[in-house]
Structure 1
């Protein structure tokens, strides 16, 4: 018997190590091809994943506990800082609201003395953006309000910061809004600082609009705020539109080149406000005797 064992050790039967490796590689390739083409190992992977899940959870438990404990202290400190900042901001806003109310009352008194028409508050309806057309040459959005909700073509659209654009197409349950950054979209504006009227146009680029046809000597500066002028009965007067970012003077051109940044968060929010009606401005008529009526 010992002689036979020695013979087996000296002359081993069966394939060698290289042959076995080649066989294992071929089997692995066959299994991979079969799984790729026919998904034969999907159940096996699911079963292994189910069996290994408790082990994974056990391994991850210490790390999860450490993350939660460390995150608690970090979040607590951040919440304290955020709370202090929000409290200060709330005080600032409260002061601004008090000043705004005082100015509003003073404006009402002055308009009453001048027998001028009082501006009525805007009536708006909330709409949510549901899609953005994938057209690189247009700046439009689709909202979830249509003719069934009373939306009409031509209505202005805004957010809580400023003007966004205008309703251009209305369907039964959706509407298309053309943003003020769309190429060639005009908006009658005026400079809040001095009342100079102009026309702002979109250029087809996000966050940029131009003011055109202003002569070289026009009084417009970097940082000026542009608001809607109310001319044309399309947009209500006084809505923030854009801030002047750059003014270029050139002797070779008849007009200034003015680039502005829109005030509204055009690409940030999912909700917009559709202005339902625009207050009609009654002209102040002169009557004999110099009195206004």
Structure 2
């Protein structure tokens, strides 16, 4: 058989086609094009949605063992926590029962003492629940905005408290919102009473350090770290006895006649979300009695009629 008639081409199994580098470049370019097209045109989004929908039951089935183990562990932990909380609640209930008995006894004793001293009963303070909406936009002040305004009966000067103590005071009222100046604002001032010594003072806000300062206290004043300050009630705005702050630091300087006393507010001015708006004490006071009008000037007594003139001399009778 002549050699010229032989087929010198390799069998189909050994055909290489394009080189490996050419195929790598082609498929890399194709992959890059598809990624760009998918990012810009979201071409594969419908396909992904279909695949996710089809695989969702399988995913849920594969998560069943994990969720079962997690739920079982949570159940055991929750059961132990529930038992511990129940025991703590029982102890707290017993302590509160004793405290309630004491409070009832003290209330009766207080009522008897007030009756003996003829004191006027304490004035009730009306409250309204409110929610803090946002902080005031002024970065140099410490103010928040609540969701109650003049339409709900809020007036300027109303005290605002949270579950721990005094938060601030309403300083601006809008129809559906109000602006509350916090105790740590530079313009905030509140009269206080030291619970331990019953000494009165005036606390000012310190916006720089988010704290308060008890000013104009003598250097030898009986003030200690940890003392609790409450409202004194002498300003006619805050009800007496509300917690205000605790003494954090007392600096008795020799070069000054006054001590530098730093206070930490009892409330949480920066994290409060639900508050109570109180009616100012001055609005609950009975109206001041009006002074009685001056008595009309008594007219001078009428001048007495001049005495009748002496009777005329008797007529002389005819001489006999």
Shorter chain as normaliser: what TM range? Answer: 0.7 to 0.9
Structure ID, larger Rg: 2
Deviations 1:202-251 (A, max 9, x none): 21267622211211011111121101111221212221111112212221
Alignment length (residue pairs):
281
**In 1, distance between residues paired with 2:12 and 2:225?**
96
**In 1, distance between residues paired with 2:259 and 2:47?**
71
**In 2, distance between residues paired with 1:55 and 1:10?**
43
Bigger relative contact order (CA 8 A; separation at least 6): 1
Shift of 1:39: 3.0
**In 2, distance between residues paired with 1:267 and 1:97?**
33
Please tell me whether residue 158 in structure 1 is matched to residue 161 in structure 2.
Answer: yes
**In 1, distance between residues paired with 2:82 and 2:278?**
37
Shift of 1:269: 4.1
Structure 1 residues 131-140 or 271-280, which shifts more? 131-140
**In 2, distance between residues paired with 1:89 and 1:181?**
34
Residues 44-59 of structure 1: pairs in structure 2 closer than 5 A: 44-59=47-62
Q: Secondary structure at the match of 2:279?
A: strand
Please tell me whether residue 229 in structure 1 is matched to residue 223 in structure 2.
Answer: no
Deviations 1:80-99 (A, max 9, x none): 11111122122223322332
Aligned to 2:245: 242
Please tell me whether residue 213 in structure 1 is matched to residue 233 in structure 2.
Answer: no
Instruction: From the superposition, tell whether residues 230 and 282 of structure 1 become closer, same or farther in structure 2 (CA, over 3 Å).
Output: farther
Shift of 1:17: 2.5
**In 1, distance between residues paired with 2:138 and 2:257?**
33
**In 2, distance between residues paired with 1:65 and 1:38?**
41
Instruction: From the superposition, tell whether residues 172 and 4 of structure 1 become closer, same or farther in structure 2 (CA, over 3 Å).
Output: farther
Shift of 1:277: 4.2
**In 2, distance between residues paired with 1:111 and 1:205?**
45
Instruction: Find the partner of 2:69 among 57, 60, 66.
Output: 66
Q: Any unmatched runs of 5+ in structure 1? A: 284-293
On the 8 A contact 1:117/1:282 being kept in 2, the answer is no
Aligned to 2:279: 276
Instruction: From the superposition, tell whether residues 82 and 19 of structure 1 become closer, same or farther in structure 2 (CA, over 3 Å).
Output: farther
Structure 1 residues 158-167 or 260-269, which shifts more? 260-269
